[in-house]
A and B are shown apart, each in its own frame.
Chain A
C-alpha cells in the first residue's frame, strides 16, 4: 500500500508491498515453522516477519496523481496545476536480526510534475526511513494465531530539498519519530491486521523568515503538527500469494486549513482516508524472488489531493549466513 499525501510526500513507512515466506527451504529455517505464513516482511506496517539472518532487498516504483484536492473542506480542481503527478523509486531492505526482531530501511527518490500552470517540478532524494519491528507475542487462539507487534521508526531527510513549495515539494522535510502498535489474527489462510501509529514530527526550517498561518509568524521555523495513523488490512495469505484490502486513515493532530485559493503550507491539517488492494506473488523458483503490486485511492480528505496510486516492486530474499545454516 502506498500513500501519497496532498504533497507528494511519499512516506516510506506507508509502503506495504506484501511478503510472505518464499520457499520451503526458507520455511524450514523459520522459527515459526508452525505458522504457515509468517515468514518474511518488508514493511513496518504488516504482520509479517522474516527469520533470523535473512535479508530481503528490493526496489519499488510508485506512481500517484490527483487532479482534485481539498482546500480545507472545499473540494476543487486547479487549472494552474492540472494533474499533479508524483513518482517514487525506492530502495528497501529488511534484515532478520532474530525471528522476533526485524530491522527495515528504505530510501526513496521522488519526482513531481504539474501538467498545467508554470510551477517547476521538483526531484530529489527524500527521507531515509529506518524501523525496528518487534513481535513479543505470538500465540495460538482457537484455531488461529494472534500476534502482537511494536514498531519504532525514524525518518530523516537526506537532502536539502525545499519543503515550502507545495504542492510541488517532494516532502515536508521534518525528522519524524514513529511508534506503532499492531495486532494480527490469522485463521487458516485468512487474516486481519489492525494498527495505530503516532508520528512525532520535528519543526522544520523554511527559506523565508515570516509566514502566515492563521496569524503572522516572524521566524523561519515551522511547528509541525503530529500525526495519528490508523491502518486496517484483511485478506488471504498463502505460501505463494497474498491478496489484501487495506484501509488507511491519517489524521493530523493540529495544523490549519488552506484558505480558499491560498497556497498549501507544510503545517496544514492534512487528513485522509484511503482504500486499496495489494498483491504479492512469491516464486518457488527462483527461490526468494518476490513481486508486488497494488494501488489505492483517497476516499475523503482535507488539505490533500484526491490521490490515485499504483505501485509495484521486485524483491529478493536470501540468507546472509547460508554456510552456517547449512552446517546445521
Chain B
C-alpha cells in the first residue's frame, strides 16, 4: 500500500510534463476559410442596381497601360522580384486575404466595433462624457459603437463596397485585362487562377472604400486600417493577382465611390441622435403625461438614454416617412393586468435560469465589448457565404442587403423605443435580476428581435436551401432576451414582426436589383 503511493510522484510528474507539452494553441474558424474560388464571375454585375451610384461609369477609371508598355512590364517585374524573396509571413498574408476581400474587411469592421463598443465611464459629478467626432482620441474615444452606431457602420461600409464593385465590374468588362499570371509565364499564381479581368483590382476597390469610410466612422483607427490595406496590397502583388497599377486604380475608385456614402452619412441625422438633456427630460415627461410609467435608466449613476433620436436617421431601404408606419402598436399598458403577467413571466425566467438558458443568453448577448447584434448576424452570414463561393461583388451585394436591413431595423426599433419609452422589467419589479447587462434604453420593442428577424429574413431569401435555420436562430435570439430577464415577451414578439417587415424591404430590393435574374 505504502509503496504504491510512491508511484504517485513520478506519475504526477509525467502527467504534468504531458500537460505542458500539449498545445494550448487554438485554431480560430475564420482562419480556416479556403481561398475564394467564385462559382460565377458575375460578369453582368455592372448592370446590378447600385445604392447611391447614379451609373456604373459615374467615376472614370482610365484605361490600363498596354501589356507591352514599359510601365506594365515594370509592374510584372516588381511581382517577380517579390515572389523570388517571398517570406513565410507573406505566405500567411496570402492564406489570410485570399479568403476574400469583402469577407476580411467585414471581419475587421466587426473587430473595430467590438473594440469601441464600450459605454463611457462617468465623470466625477455623476454625468457622462460623450465621444466627440471632432476630438476622437480624447476619452471617451469616438465612436462608442453601440448597436445603432454599429448597424449604421456595417450598412455604409457594405453598401459602399457594393456600389464600388459594380463600378469596378464595369471597368473590368470594359478593359478586359487578364491577370498578371496570364500575361507572363514568369509570374506565378499563388492563389487560385481566375478568368476575372484584373483591372481595376477588386480587392483594392474594397480596401479603398473602407479607408475612406473609416475616416468618418472610426477615425482613431486610420493607422490600423492603412496597415491592413498595405498587407492586402502586398498579398495581391506577391500572389500574382494584381499589378501595382491595377491596385492603385481600384483603390482610387473605391475611395471615390465611398465619397458618395460619407457625404450621405454626414447628413443622415446620426450626428444628432444623442439628443440633448432637455430632450431626454421631455421623453420622460411626455410619457408620464400619457399615464404610462416612463423608462428610467437602471445604471448608476443614471446614464442618458442611448441615441434617442436614432429613429430619425434616414433609412436606406425606404423613405424616412415610412418609419412611423412600421412602428408596432403600443405594448401593454404599464397599469394593465397583462403587463403584470408579463412582468411575472420575466421574474420566473430570472429565478429559474437553466444552464441551457444561460448558454442561450450568453451566446446572443452581444453586449458591451462585442461586435453587437448586427455584427453577430454579419458573422453568421459570413460563415454561410464562404460555403457559397460567391464572387466579391455578390459577397458585397448580399452583405449590403443584410446590413441595410440591419440599419433600417435599428432605425425603426429606436423610433419605437423612444415613442413608447417603456420601462424595463427590472424597473417594474426590482426582484428581477438579470443574466446579462440591461441595455440602457427603453424596453419595447427588443432590438435583438428586430435585428435578428431582419437579418434572418434576408438570409432566408438568399439561401433558401437552409430552410428555417435563420428564422429559428432569430427566434432563439429574441427569446434569449426574455430568458435573460431583460425583456418582456411582447418586446420580443413585436420586434420579430417589425424586423421581418424591414427585412422584406431588403428582399424586395434583392428581387429587383438584377443579381438574381
The contact of A208 among B13, B30, B363, B433, by CB within 8 Å, is B363
Q: Mark B421-442, 1 if CB is under 8 A from A, else 0.
A: 0000010000011110110000
Give the nearest-CB partner of A113 in chain B: B433
Whether a CB of chain B sits under 8 angstroms from the CB of A179 is yes
Q: Is the CB of A152 within 8 A of B300?
A: no
What residues on A are CB-neighbors of B8 within 8 Å?
Answer: 101, 103, 132
Instruction: Decide if B84 is an interface residue (CB 8 Å cutoff).
Output: no
A216 touching B2 by the CB < 8 A rule?
Answer: no
**B365 close to chain A: CB less than 8 A:** yes
What 7 pairs across the A-B complex have the smallest Cβ distances?
A79-B300, A120-B433, A207-B362, A216-B111, A212-B114, A218-B30, A152-B12
Nearest chain B residue, comparing its CB with the CB of A121: B433
Interface residues of B in 120-145 (CB under 8 A from A): 120-121, 139
Given A120-B350, A132-B8, A217-B28, A208:B111 Cβ within 8 A? no
Contact A118 B300 (CB under 8 A): no
Distance in angstroms between the alpha carbons of A206 and B25 in the assembled complex:
16
Nearest residue, chain A, Cβ from B18: A177
B223 in contact (CB, < 8 A): no
Interface centre among A80, A177, A218, A260 (most CB of B within 10 A): A218
Could you list 7 further interchain pairs (A-B, Cβ under 8 angstroms) beyond the known A210-B370, A210-B371, A212-B370?
A103-B5, A132-B9, A160-B355, A162-B359, A212-B115, A219-B27, A223-B24
Kindly state whether residue B60 has any CB partner on chain A within 8 Å: no
Q: Which residue of A lies closest to B22 (CB)?
A: A202
Which residues of the partner chain B approach A117 to less than 8 Å between Cβ atoms?
300
Which residues from A are CB-within-8-Å of B438?
118
Known: A79-B301, A259-B118, A261-B121. Is A212-B139 also a contact (CB below 8 A)?
Answer: no
The answer to whether A209 and B363 have CB atoms under 8 Å apart is yes
Task: Verify if A97 is at the interface (C-beta below 8 Å from B).
Answer: yes
Given the interface pairs A80-B299, A200-B19, A262-B118, the reply to whether A98 lies near B359 with Cβ below 8 Å is: no
Asked if B466 is an interface residue, CB under 8 A from chain A, the answer is no
- Do B2 and A97 have beta carbons less than 8 Å apart? yes
Residues of chain A lying within 8 A (CB to CB) of residue B353:
120
Q: How far is the CB of B118 from chain A (nearest CB, A)?
A: 5
Q: Which residue of A lies closest to B380 (CB)?
A: A209
Question: From residue 2 to 33 of chain B, which have CB atoms closer than 8 A to chain A?
Answer: 2, 5-6, 8-9, 12-13, 15-16, 19-20, 24-31
Binary interface encoding of chain A residues 207-241 relative to chain B, with 1 for a CB under 8 A from any of its CBs, else 0: 11111100111110101100000000000000000
Residue of A at shortest CB range from B350? Answer: A120
- Is A134 among interface residues, defined by CB-CB distance under 8 A? yes
CB pairs A–B below 8 angstroms (7 shown): A117-B300, A118-B437, A119-B437, A152-B12, A207-B358, A210-B370, A261-B118
Measured between alpha carbons, how far is A211 from B437 in the docked complex, in Å?
16
Using known A-B contacts A208-B363, A212-B111, determine if residue A219 contacts B300 with beta carbons closer than 8 Å. no
Say yes or no: B300 contacts A262, CB within 8 Å: no
Contact residues in A for B115 (Cβ distance below 8 Å) = 212
Q: Which residues of B lie under 8 Å from residue A15 when comparing CB positions?
A: none
**Which residues of A have CB within 8 Å of B27?**
219
The yes or no answer to A93 lying at the interface (CB within 8 A) is: no
For chain A, the bracket of interface size reads 35 or more
Q: Is the interface of A mostly helix, strand, loop or mixed?
A: loop
A166 and B164 alpha carbons, distance in the complex (Å): 43
Question: Roughly how many angstroms separate A52 CA and B6 CA in the complex, as a whole number?
Answer: 13
Question: Interface extent on B, as a size class?
Answer: 35 or more
In the complex, what residues of B have CB within 8 A of residue A259's CB? 118, 369
Interface string of A104-126 (1 = CB under 8 A from B): 00000000000011111100000
Q: Compute how far the CA of A217 lies from the CA of B301 in the bound complex, rounded to whole angstroms.
A: 32
If A98-B2, A165-B362, A209-B363 touch, does A261 touch B9 (CB 8 Å cutoff)?
Answer: no
Complex interface residues of chain B between 363 and 405 (CB less than 8 A to chain A)? 363, 365, 367-371, 376, 379
The docked-state distance in angstroms from the alpha carbon of A312 to that of B338 is 49
In the complex, chain B residues whose CB is within 8 Å of the CB of A79: 299-301
A150 within 8 Å of B by Cβ? yes
B499 at the binding interface (Cβ < 8 Å): no
| Residue B107 lies at the interface, judged by CB distance under 8 Å to chain A | yes
Q: A116, A164, A212: which has the most chain B beta carbons within 10 Å?
A: A212
Is B308 part of the binding interface, using a Cβ–Cβ cutoff of 8 Å?
no
Instruction: Report if A203 contacts B (CB, 8 A).
Output: yes
A141 in contact (CB, < 8 A): no
By beta carbon, the residue of chain A nearest B139 is: A260
Contact of A218 among B29, B118, B365 (CB under 8 A): B29
User: Is A137's CB within 8 Å of the partner chain B?
Assistant: no
Task: Confirm or deny: A263 has a beta carbon within 8 angstroms of a beta carbon on chain B.
Answer: yes
For B362, what are the chain A residues with a Cβ–Cβ distance below 8 Å? 162, 164-165, 206-208
Q: Are A203 and B26 in contact (CB under 8 A)?
A: yes
Which B316-358 residues sit within 8 Å CB-CB of chain A?
A: 350, 353, 355, 358
Q: How far is the CA of A202 from the CA of B30 in the complex (A)?
A: 22
The residues of B that contact A116 with a CB separation of less than 8 Å are: 300
Query: Is B298 part of the binding interface, using a Cβ–Cβ cutoff of 8 Å?
Result: yes
Interface hub of B9, B31, B298 (most chain A Cβ within 10 A): B9
B100 within 8 A of A: no
Nearest CB in chain B to that of A159: its residue:
B355
Name the CB-closest residue of A to B353: A120
Q: Assuming the A-B contacts A118-B438, A215-B111, are A162 and B2 also in contact, with contact meaning beta carbons closer than 8 angstroms in the complex?
A: no
**Chain B residue contacts of A262, Cβ below 8 A:** 118, 368-369
* B28 contact from A101, A118, A218, A260, Cβ within 8 A: A218
A32 to B315, CA, bound (A): 82
B29 near A152 with CB under 8 A, answer no
Say whether B312 faces chain A, with CB atoms less than 8 Å apart: no
Contact of A260 (CB < 8 Å), options: B24, B121, B355, B426: B121
CB distance from A115 to the nearest CB of B (A): 11
A90 to chain B, nearest CB (A): 23
Q: A200–B23 Cα gap in the complex (Å)?
A: 12
A80 to B437, CA, bound (A): 10
Query: CB within 8 Å of B: which of A174-199?
Result: 177, 179
Q: Is B110 an interface residue (CB 8 A)?
A: yes
Cα A117 to Cα B437 with chains together (Å): 9
Docked Cα-Cα span, A238 to B350, in Å, equals 51
A80 touches B300 (CB 8 A): yes
* Cα–Cα distance between A216 and B6 once the two chains are bound (Å): 47
Confirm or deny: B119 has a beta carbon within 8 angstroms of a beta carbon on chain A.
yes
> In the complex, what residue of chain A is closest to B126 when comparing beta carbons?
A79
Residue of B with least CB distance to A152: B12
Q: For the complex, give the distance between the alpha carbons of A206 and B363 in Å.
A: 9
Residues in A with CB closer than 8 Å to B107 are: 216, 218
Nearest opposing residue in chain A for B303, CB measure? A80
Point out the residues of chain B lying under 8 angstroms from A165, CB to CB: 358, 362, 435
Q: Is the CB of B114 within 8 A of A152?
A: no
CB-CB nearest in chain A for B3: A98
| Docked pose: A98 CA to B3 CA in angstroms | 10
Task: Given the known inter-chain contacts A119-B437, A134-B9, A206-B362, please indicate yes or no for A263 contacting B300, CB distance below 8 A.
Answer: no
